[in-house]
Amino acid sequence: MKPQTHPKTYRVKSFGCQMNVYDGERMGEMLDEQGLAPAPDGEDADLVVLNTCHIREKAAEKIYSDIGRLTKGKTQTKAPMIAVAGCVAQAEGEEIMARAPAVSMVVGPQAYHRLPDMLDKAVQGERATDTDMPAIAKFGALPARKRRSPTAFLTVQEGCDKFCTYCVVPYTRGAEISRPFSDLIDEARKLIEAGAREITLLGQNVNAWGGEDTKGHSVGLAGLIHALAKLDGLERIRYTTSHPNDMDDALIAAHGEVEQLMPYLHLPVQSGNDRILKAMNRAHTAESYLRLLERFRGVRPDIALSGDFIVGFPGETEAEFEDTLSIVDEVRYAQAYSFKYSPRPGTPAATMDNQIAPEIMDERLQRLQARINRDQLAFNAATVGRTCDVLIERKGKLPGQWLGKSPWLQSVFFEGDFELGDLVTVDLVEGRGSSVRGVPVQPAKAQATA
Ligand code: SAH
Ligand code: SF4
Ligand code: F3S
């Protein structure tokens, strides 16, 4: 490659899960430190970082079309320098370098703290790939947090040792690691100083987090949540994604003890059929999953439940798929994500017999999504009449309109004289599809002077 001028502006495009969003923010902070600035919306960036996801087929294919569009001037007037980061970079780094000569840098999810060095080399005309997995080293090498926003992500745990037979994450993100307790408290403090009122703790298996608190006691995620709840200015705590097998009594109990811990749980089940769960290597049954949810509802009856489902896992029969519909009927999720099974290279399920035909998968997905949507509408309708706090995250489409989240993670919109980051008490008055309309409750101050 020819030497290039040092980029002045950048844009990070993150795909996939929230952990990629977190990584994307941290890459941005590193580039800021290096003297680059985020490209304003609608303007060309000198450097584009594609922060990719490998979880399903389409996600990976999209990268090549994005690279093509960037180099052919379809996305920008001028072709930028391109870096590919994230899970596709980890899984297919060499292939990307060979297939896409326009890419200057390929960097894996555990190595992106080295992006500044790679950028300096790229400017000299040297293409570089770094897909090492030094795990925790990355966090220590990143600059301090300074992103200003009322809601923030904080990665506490990375990687996965579960090896579900369909999934690439153990290969792209590596083994399970937990970041140290004191580092997390420090990072949370910085986020709060920068304006965060809600922090979502992230991990591929966030409830596998474990560490030692400041007194040297071993604690799990519940211990971390209790400590975070003591930080001044932090109004809300969430965590995602949990695995049924890593759930412990303390975390369930925390939902009845910690006021700041929001009544929401994302707990993927994948299938409602025990034979399929076994073939997926999930190590829980439909029944043990349901009992777990019952215990959460026991301490927090209003808890909003969410999950993930895969339809069309190899060998799934119609009757086995119907068990998935039944578990949905039983749980009544507030919302849920559902996917068609996608064979991933290198995973055991990809070479299993009886791969399911695409038409059958389509049909099953539609039936499942119809039930999930039915329950989401019912959940939203059932919250009408409640009064709750909504944290404003952004402006709505209409003038004077605001959008934020209820404690149950519903999108709530309402009007009034407010600012980003305000925690506004509203009456929920009407369910509108996947969101809910709210009406602010007259502030106590205004009532007193009236
Ligand atoms: N660690 C989390 C989720 C990781 S991936 C967990 O175990 O729950 C997010 C979701 O993508 C999974 O829950 C699963 O539903 C889906 N998924 C993962 N691999 C997939 C594949 N090969 N095909 C279709 N969906 C998949
Ligand atoms: Fe993938 Fe299973 Fe690990 Fe979740 S628990 S990341 S689905 S291997
Ligand atoms: Fe995708 Fe990697 Fe997240 S594969 S879902 S970006 S862990």
Of residues 443 and 54, which shows the higher confidence score?
54
Mean pLDDT of 172-176: 93
Residue located nearest, by CA, to atom 7 of ligand 3: 169
pLDDT tier for residue 28 given thresholds of 50, 70 and 90: very high
| Ligand 1 pocket member 18 (CB < 6 A) | no
pLDDT-derived band at 136 (thresholds 50, 70, 90) equals: low
Of the pLDDT bands very low, low, confident and very high (cuts 50, 70, 90), residue 448 is: very low
Segments of the chain assigned to CATH 2.40.50.140: 387-447
Which CATH class, in words, describes the domain spanning 9-137?
Answer: alpha beta
Does pLDDT of 445 surpass 60?
no
How high is the pLDDT of residue 73? 81
- Dihedral angle at the C-alpha atoms of 199, 201, 207, 209, nearest 10 degrees? -120
Specify the residue with its C-alpha closest to ligand 3, atom 6.
Answer: 53
Domain with CATH 3.30.750.200 in the chain: 263-382
Q: What is the predicted pLDDT for the residue at 449?
A: 39
Is the per-residue pLDDT at 260 higher than 70? yes
Q: How many A from CA of 55 to the centre of ligand 1?
A: 7
Residue 422, SS3 per DSSP = coil
**Residue ranges, CATH 3.30.750.210, the chain:** 145-261
Instruction: Give the SS3 label for residue 147.
Output: coil
Residues of the chain with CATH 3.40.50.12160: 9-137
- Nearest ligand atom owner, CA of 265: 1
Query: Stretch 244-264: mean pLDDT, rounded?
Result: 97
- Residues with beta carbon inside 6 Å of ligand 2? 160, 162-164, 167, 169-170, 204-205, 243
Which atom, in ligand 1's list, is nearest to the CA of 160? 1
The helix-helix angle for 358-383 and 318-331 (nearest 10°) equals 10
pLDDT band at residue 288, thresholds of 50, 70 and 90? very high
Classify 145-261 by CATH class. Answer: alpha beta
The pLDDT, as a whole number, for residue 443 is 62
Mean pLDDT check: name the lowest of 135-139, 347-351, 428-432. 135-139
From ligand 3's centre to the CA of 169, what distance in Å? 6
- What is the pLDDT of the chain when averaged over all its residues? 93
| Ligand 3 probe mutation, 88, 169, 347, most atoms within 8 A of CB | 169
Taking residues 382-402, what's their average pLDDT? 95
DSSP H helical segments within 245-400, as ranges? Answer: 249-257, 274-279, 286-299, 318-331, 358-383
- Tell me the helices (H) and strands (E) count for the chain, helix number first: 14, 21
- Atom number of ligand 3 nearest to Cα 173: 7
pLDDT, one tens digit per residue, over 105-134 is 999 999 999 999 999 999 999 998 998 887
Closest ligand 1 atom, residue 241 Cα: 2
For the domain made up of 263-382, give the CATH fold.
Answer: Transcription Regulator spoIIAA (3.30.750)
pLDDT tens digits for range 334-374: 999 999 999 999 999 999 999 999 999 999 999 999 999 99
Atom of ligand 1 nearest to the CA of 349: 22
Q: CATH topology for 387-447?
A: OB fold (Dihydrolipoamide Acetyltransferase, E2P) (2.40.50)
Question: What is the per-residue pLDDT for 75?
Answer: 83
Pairing of strands 423-432, 435-440: antiparallel
CA-CA-CA-CA torsion for 83, 85, 91, 97, nearest 10 degrees? Answer: 0
Each residue's pLDDT tens digit, 57-106: 877 778 899 999 999 888 888 899 999 999 999 999 999 999 999 999 99
